[in-house]
Every structure is written in structure tokens, then in C-alpha cells.
Amino acid sequence: MKVSIIVPTLNEELVLEKTLTQFQQLSPHELIVSDGGSDDDTRNIAGRFSHRVITGSAGRALQMNDGADEATGDILLFLHADSRIEPESYRKMQQCMQNPKWIGGAFTLCIESGKWSLKLIALLANIRSKYFGLAYGDQGFFVRKEVFKDMNGFSPLPICEDLDFYHRLRKKGPVILLKEKAHTSPRRWIKGGILFTTARNTLIAVLFGLGFPPHILTKWYLAIR
């Protein structure tokens, strides 16, 4: 099965070369960077290390939809610019998606830090994903392209588009949460403060689930890079 890896970016020059080099080693069908108008060296780096670079409006949901529109693979794999997955995890995803039962899924979260507090946060996030069906985008989402199209992709929300997408995906059919990990950088927790960042993210997720307007919630979410 052909896999299209789609990476949304906005001013990610500090991490992008390392990320895309690792994604290249997975030998996907194609590697697409969907940029939201970076004013640093992001697009130049993307041009050297990906098959295609798309530039459009800023907004992770819009950017991932733009990337999916250009993708030609059977499976769409959405990964963040500060994330990575091991070859074994990638192969396991491919094997699982050979089974027509599954329409998509996500990986188990691993925050790349030795701090016990971040290990605990990852553990709780994985419990939430497994038992409550709530997965975040940094766990890496994969989905059959025809299912993605039928869902009209990500909802054009300014925040929590990942929670909304995974919730809608689970309604479409069986999804799989792989025990294999998606590794993500701890940079936002470190920069914003572990306790504050965790409390803020939890509060935003709860309020979103209760129907609080996303355009208000997004004002509380600072893009820390």
C-alpha cells in the first residue's frame, strides 16, 4: 500500500531537517510538506528533503487538508514537524492497514524526555486514548484516503481539530491504536512550563468537548516554538 506522509509546518527551521531526514528513511510513497506561510528557512529545507511543498493559509487543519488534496497514496499519515516514528512502527501500521477491517488509527504517544512528569503525562494520554477514544495529533494519525475524503477531511477549526477528527473517524468504522510509538518533542512543555502547559491543554480539551467555541479557546493556546 502506498503511504503519503503529510507534515504541516509553520516556522520549523530548527527541527525540520532532522524530522524530514528521518521520515525519508521510512521510504514512503511520498513526503509532502504543507506550509502555512513560514517566514524563516522552513520552505527551503522542505524543498530539499521532501517530494512536494505546498504553501497555503496558516492553520493546521487547513494545511493538512491541502496536503491530503495533493496526496496520491492509499494511506494518509499525518505527522507533526517535531515528531518521528521508528521503522518498526511504520511497518506495523502498513501491516495493520492491509486488513480492510481498519479504516485508520494512531500510535501510542512517547514524549522524548527522561523527566518523570512527562513520562506520567504520556502514560495518562495513552490511557485516555485507549479507554476514552481521545487521541491528539502528536500521536500520528493514519487513515485510508477514501475514508478521509468521505469525512471531508479535518474540520476547519482553529484548535482541537485533532480531537474532532479522531472522534469523527471512530464513528466511521473500526480504528486501531497501535502499541508502537510516535515520538514527540517535549519542547512545548519545557518552554511553557510542564504544569501550566498540561493544565491548559487539559482545560481546553474539556471545554472543547463541552462545546465551548474554538475561536475563544485558541486565544489560550500559545504557539510555542
pLDDT tens for residues 104-133?
A: 999 999 999 999 999 999 999 999 999 988
**Cβ atoms within 10 A of the Cβ of 213, count?**
10
**Res. 216: pLDDT tops 90:** no
d(CA 87, CA 94): 11
* Inter-residue contact 163 to 138 (CB < 8 Å): no
- Identify whether 222 is part of a domain: no
**Cα–Cα nearest to 182, from 7, 2, 1:** 7
- Identify whether 210 is part of a domain: no
- Identify whether 94 is part of a domain: yes
- Residues above pLDDT 70, as percent of the chain: 97
- Identify the residue with better confidence: 191 or 143: 143
- Identify whether 154 is part of a domain: yes
Task: Using only the alpha carbons of the chain, give its radius of gyration.
Answer: 16
- Identify whether 161 is part of a domain: yes
Secondary structure of residue 104 in the 3-state scheme: strand
* Inter-residue contact 7 to 79 (CB < 8 Å): yes
- Identify whether 223 is part of a domain: no
- Identify whether 219 is part of a domain: no
The total number of structural domains in the chain stands at 1
pLDDT in tens, 84-99: 999 999 999 999 999 9
Buried b (16+ CB within 10 A) or exposed e, 168-183: ebbeeeebbbbebbbb
Tell me, what CATH number does 152's domain have?
A: 3.90.550.10
- Identify the residue with better confidence: 78 or 132: 78
Domain span at 25 = 3-186
- Identify whether 206 is part of a domain: no
Name the H helices within 71-180: 87-97, 116-132, 145-150, 161-172
Phi-psi region of 84 (alpha: psi -120 to 50; beta: other; left: phi over 0): beta
